[in-house]
Structures are given as C-alpha cells and as structure tokens.
Amino acid sequence: MIIRGVAAAQRWLLGLMLGCYVLAGIVPGPGTLLRGLKFPLAIEGNVLTLPMGLLAIMLVNAGLGVRVRDIGGVLRRPLPLLLGIAVNALLPVALLPAFALFLRSWPDLLEVECLLVGVMLVLAMPIAGGAASWGQNAGGNVPLVVAMVLGSTLLSPLTVPLGLRLAGRLVGPGGLGGLDDTTHLDRLAATGAGPFALASVVVPCLMGILARALLGDRRISRVLPWAKAVNLVNVLLLCYINAAGALGQALTHPDPDLLVLSLVVSATACALSFLLGRWMSRWTGCNGPDHISLTLATGMNNTSAAAVLAAAWFSHRPEVLLPILSYSLLQKTMATAMGSPPGKSGCEPPAGPAGPAAQVTVPLRSAVKPGG
C-alpha cells in the first residue's frame, strides 16, 4: 500500500511541487512560521532551524540507500568519478561570470544581486541524490552516480565555501561588478556554509550509511519504503516552507519582469550545467552508461540545501529564492530530456559492480529520488 502510494506520488512529483508553490504563494503564513522555528542547538554560532532538520532527515534517508561495496568498481576507474566531483565543485566559477555579463545591463542592481546569489548557491551545492534515480531510469552507471553524490557531499564543507568565495570574487566589485557588496556572502562563506554543509548534509548522510552497514540489507529493505514516504513528505514540506517567503511577496508585490528573468537565468544555468556534463563525458570518450551518469551528476544539484541556506541567510531578500525554486523544477525536467542513452555504445562498457543499472540493483533509488 505504501509502496504503491509513494510510486504514484513520485510520478506526479513535479505537479505536487507546483501545487506546493501555488499554496505558498496564496497562503504563505504557515510556511513563514515553520521556517522561523529553531532547535535549541547551535554549531559554531549557527542556529539549527526546522528546514535544516528536514534537510538532515532527507540526507539520512539518502545514506540508507548507499551500499559502499557497489562503489569499489568505480574506484578502479576513477577518472569519471574525479571529473564529475571536480566539475560540480567548479560550476560557480565557470558559469557565474557569464551570468554577470548577461545581467550587467539590467536596470535594477538589487535584483541582479539576488539572481546571482541564488544561482551561485545552487551551483555551489553538492550533487543531488536524485541523480541516481534518473541515472538508473536512463540506463546509466548507477554506482558511479552514487559515488559522485557521496564524494561531492563529503567534500561539501570545503567546496561550498570555496565555490562561494571564488565566485564572489569573480562577480564582485573587484571582478565583473554584478555584486556591489560581497560582505554578507563572504561572511556566509567564512562562517556559515561549512558548518551548514557539515551539520545538515555530511553528518546525516554518514549516519544513514552507517545505519545501513550495521542493520544489513535485509532489515534496511523493510525500512526503505517508509524512508521513501518520509522523503516525499519532506520534499513537499520544504518546497512549501522555502517558497512561502519568495512567492508570497511575488504575488503581493508582483514584478513580472523579475519573475521572467529569474526563470530565464535558472533555465540557462540548468541547461549549461547539463550540456557541460555531456560535453565533458564525450571529451573523455565515455559515451555509454558513464556518459549518462556524468551528464546527470553535473546538471543536478541539491536545490533543497540551497533553498534552506538561502532562507536562513538571505531572509531579508526573498528574491534570492526565486532562481533556486525555478532551478529545482527545471533540473528534473532537464534530467528527463538529457538523461537519455547516446546514439552509440560506450567505448569501454563497465563491468561488474560498476556496470549499467540492469546489472546491479542499487536501493538508493528507493530512498533518494525526491531529494534533489
């Protein structure tokens, strides 16, 4: 019953997310209240909020789906793995200057800053766990995607602040000038992003992996349908909470130009991320399952984490959330379009545990699909 219900909800996930966005725009009050709830805990002066707790639960469930032994074959051919993690970490540095140039002629500098910060936060986040599900559906190398998700997640306390700091320099007053004041962003990179990534992303993921190792596959298989249901609830609740401020204000004080520009910027960033992954996979000669995996991992970022971080640090500028919310929907649509097998088979078909999804069943699909 639970499995059938969750499967039906997953098929309608985009529609349900859009429904949460609409509800957040019409009735933002409860979402604003929930976003302000805080736990009596703090890490390096950063207070843990309800959205951070929901995000942590999602990452625990994601960790439950990781079988470390499936990653062994990937480590024997590390180039695609290292390339995927490196490209994900350097995306803000690669794409933000282009967006700063594109937005230079926009008359409202505050709107430009909000759009750049929102896109920067998305691109700085680790690879979304949902990439494994799309990779499995498209016939990709699922253990490779899992390894890239895990690697980028474990490195996120280092890569997220570094990506924010470097991108801020490139588009700040000393660079292209898209950001007139990077003080708040520098403070986030110095004191907020690392602890946030550690507490809300890395530690929960490791807890899930450890729980799976201790309980074993048989016991975990009984838990995964429930974890899947919890993740769906978490995703939709986070959609509503994170959208409440931004979309509520957008409907109260409508700015069609900003909404359209935010959608255009998000769509461009999403498309360029996927295309960069596809180009990199072809450049390395991987046109089979690895090609699909690298394309999806490069294009799909953890937008839930980006939205939670934006809501915590940029609550005074809810427009920062607009490109993040747009990207969250667009990357799932783009994953369906881009995550298709290429026209010819791979140059070196993987074998064993690193092979295509048809050769290995990875329970990550059950736990993580909604988590992007």
pLDDT tens digits, residue range 71-97? 777 887 788 888 888 888 888 888 888
pLDDT (average), residues 4-27? 79
Share of the chain above pLDDT 70, in %: 83
pLDDT (average), residues 111-137? 85
pLDDT at 268: 92
Position 352 pLDDT exceeds 50:
no
pLDDT at 231: 80
- Residues 296-334: b if buried by 16+ CB within 10 A, e if exposed: bbbbbbbbbbbbbbbbbbbeebbbbbbbbbbbbbbbbeb
Average pLDDT, the chain: 78
pLDDT in tens, 55-73: 888 888 878 877 777 777 7
Residue 73 near residue 350, CB atoms below 8 Å:
yes
At residue 97, what is the residue type?
A: P
Position 28 pLDDT exceeds 80:
yes
DSSP 8-state symbol, 326? H
**CA pair distance 155, 33, nearest whole angstrom:** 32
Whole-model pTM?
0.80
CATH 1.20.1530.20 fits 2-371, yes or no: yes
Q: Half-sphere exposure of 372 toward its Cβ, with a 13 Å CA cutoff?
A: 31
66: left (phi over 0), alpha (psi -120 to 50) or beta: beta
pLDDT at 181: 67
pLDDT (average), residues 13-19? 82
Q: Phi first, then psi: give them for residue 307, nearest 5 degrees.
A: -65, -40
Q: Could you tell me the residue ranges of all domains in the chain? A: 2-371
Angstrom CA distances, 97 to 120, 278, 285, 303, 359, stand at 10, 21, 28, 21, 42
Those residues with Cβ within 8 angstroms of residue 202's Cβ, 6 or more apart along the chain or in another chain: 153, 154, 156, 157
Q: How far is CA 349 from the centre of its chain?
A: 28
